[in-house]
Structure 1
């Protein structure tokens, strides 16, 4: 008889409440439209999805960007953020107010009709590009993201290099590593980030003449298609238990949910993108949910005392930790 697996509620793992710090990152999910449908996508984005930002919410977000100087980074994600309404409007509003803009690009979007101007546009506005390249081997990338995606990604990075990315100091290009989705209980954590970055740089330079700035290792969080895959394989609970068994309390200080607000295409506010996808909204100290309109009405971004947590938070706190900026602590 198989023993039932138990997962300690994440909140009980902490010795103190997971509190919010001052907000300096605004991460905006512009919608679920995407030219790819990757097997590990926690957003469940794809070509058939139509959900995207509305002009009304976009205007509110632009007002937030202008009104709150404490926002240092505007982080645009999706879907393919470039395909969704408001992308360039938000880029230009953020740059006009001196903020860093990050675009989380799948790279292959450059080759879709109507998007061939993106590399030059990114360079013109000094947008920091954080690009998914979950492995430097073609087979592994194509298994996760679709046939031919690796080749297109390489061509896209070479294009970015040609306009100065990875070479000029103001044109930063970061790549993102994701592990393959597990098919057995032989789970493993992401490799050590600094060593894997060296391997990526050596391989990509030698084989494709590619240069980039940083590699971010990101754990597969059991949300969206990753969760569905694990459930199909009857691995969801074992995977959560594996992540819990590698909980590292030293990651807590640097968790991305502590200094960011995650906004969806409807204008709702969450502590992080994973909570957004699991419909776990941020709560004020009065236990009210938030919207962008409420932030503007209150004239403050700091309305949240405590971060909302769930079992999948073990994914961000296992081993060296995981965030939209890669590992949280040194090995």
Structure 2
């Protein structure tokens, strides 16, 4: 009853901007993160994209062609980061991979691993190896029960089989076949909130467990905070924990994370060709703005012949998730 009464109050959270000592601005853009759509073979409980098997939104041929033009036009883009949904299921995945590789860019595919066992996708591991894609794979825990609670029954077993398959191809072993894993905490069911464990130590635990039990090797573990966006936000609201979770994140704000935030050197593009500062802003429909206050699209970037049109990064309360403790980004801890 005490938790209920606390959460019925309007808990105040300081506007994120007020925590900053200076305006949050872009550095030089080197990463293009593209969300190809919401189609996915899974419907994970923590998914901030709210992706799933029943979603149909995906990249169009027209936007795909614009993105390929963008990849060719701007050599300062060093990394093309493909996400979804399951990016492999959505239109344009392979054309974008091949355009990026032809121009010498690193390609990251954010894979749920289980997609390889769906009809029509069994060629993916070999395709990834052929094009030397860096795989960032979700494995939110090394214990089966925790993974299946978050991602669905049987997901852990298929994930293990997929990782063994990738190892056989040289992933995690050869220097040009990088295999990274992602840890997400379980969603909270009470106000006993916690941040992700220290990344380096947890990585050691993952490596020992997966090697001893499954003979699996991988390169890096990324710990990512569950931001109160998408299904995570819905879960927190159902449990009457949303406001208190935001307050918890604010209390753990770490100013040393700010200079390393992923929004500073990347553009996030949705399947409609709209531009955002990060994937979380994309899901909350908070578009990037030009110096004149106009919303940005891929078309405008191409017309301007520049990626540097954003004067100030758009922020919201959920930005506390990226700046709490050791910080959180698409590449794990920030400090």
Answer yes or no: same fold by TM over 0.5.
yes
Aligned to 2:278: 272
User: Cα distance, 1:97 vs. partner?
Assistant: 0.1
SS of the aligned residue for 1:61 comes to helix
Match of 2:11 in 1: 5
C-alpha separation between the residues in 2 aligned to 1:15 and 1:162? 49
Question: How many Å separate the matches in 2 of 1:92 and 1:300?
Answer: 23
Asked if residue 167 in structure 1 is aligned to residue 173 in structure 2, the reply is: yes
2:154 matches 1:154: no
Query: How far 1:305 moved relative to its partner?
Result: 1.3
Q: C-alpha displacement at 1:220, in angstroms? A: 0.1
3-state secondary structure, aligned to 1:306 = coil
Name the residue aligned to 1:179. Answer: 185
Which of the numbers 320, 324, 330 marks the counterpart of 1:314? 320
Q: Find the counterpart in structure 2 of residue 93 from structure 1.
A: 99
The alignment's TM-score, normalised by the length of structure 1, stands at 0.99
Native 8 Å contact 2:173 2:218 kept in 1: yes
The 5-angstrom pairing of residues 172-211 of structure 1 reads: 172-211=178-217
Measure, in 1, the Cα distance between the counterparts of 2:104 and 2:229. Answer: 34
Number of equivalenced pairs: 329
The 1-side partners of 2:272 and 2:11 are apart by 37
Q: 1:30 matched to which residue of 2?
A: 36
The root-mean-square deviation of aligned C-alpha atoms, in Å, is 0.6
Residue equivalent to 1:78: 84
1:216-269 CA distances to partner (integer Å, 9 max, x unpaired)?
Answer: 000000000000000000000000000000000000010000000000000000
1:216 is aligned to 222
Question: What is aligned with 2:54?
Answer: 48
How far residue 215 of structure 1 moved from its aligned partner, in angstroms, is 0.1
Give the Cα–Cα distance (whole angstroms) in 2 for the partners of residues 267 and 44 of structure 1.
19
Q: In structure 2, what is the Cα distance between the partners aligned to 1:305 and 1:126?
A: 35
Distance, in Å, in 1 between the alignment partners of 2:60 and 2:260 is 32
Distance in 1 between residues matched to 2:331 and 2:94, nearest whole Å: 22
The 2-side partners of 1:72 and 1:256 are apart by 14
Residue equivalent to 1:129: 135
Is residue 293 from structure 1 mapped to residue 302 from structure 2 by the alignment?
A: no
Residue 233 (structure 1) aligned with residue 239 (structure 2): yes
Unaligned runs of 5+ in 1: none
- What secondary structure is seen at the aligned counterpart in 1 of 2:100? helix
* 2:256 match: 250
Partner Cα distance (1:216, 1:118) in 2:
22
Runs of 4+ in 1 over 2 A off after TM superposition: 1-4
| 1:201 match: secondary structure | helix
The SS at the match of 2:281 is: helix
| Aligned residue among 41, 66, 69 for 1:63 | 69
Match of 1:108 among 114, 117, 120: 114
Cα pair 2:268 2:279 within 8 Å, conserved: yes
Residue aligned with 1:262, SS? strand
The one-character-per-residue Cα deviations of 1:36-95 (angstroms, maximum 9, x if unpaired) are 000000000000000000000000000000000000000000000000000000000000
Conserved 8 A contact 2:10-2:243: no
Using the alignment, how far apart are the partners of 1:158 and 1:307 within structure 2?
Answer: 40
Task: Give the unaligned 5+ runs of structure 2.
Answer: none
Matched, 1:327 2:329: no
Query: SS in structure 1 opposite 2:263?
Result: helix
The whole-number CA distance in structure 1 between the counterparts of 2:173 and 2:155 is 24
Q: Distance in 2 between matches of 1:250 and 1:305?
A: 22
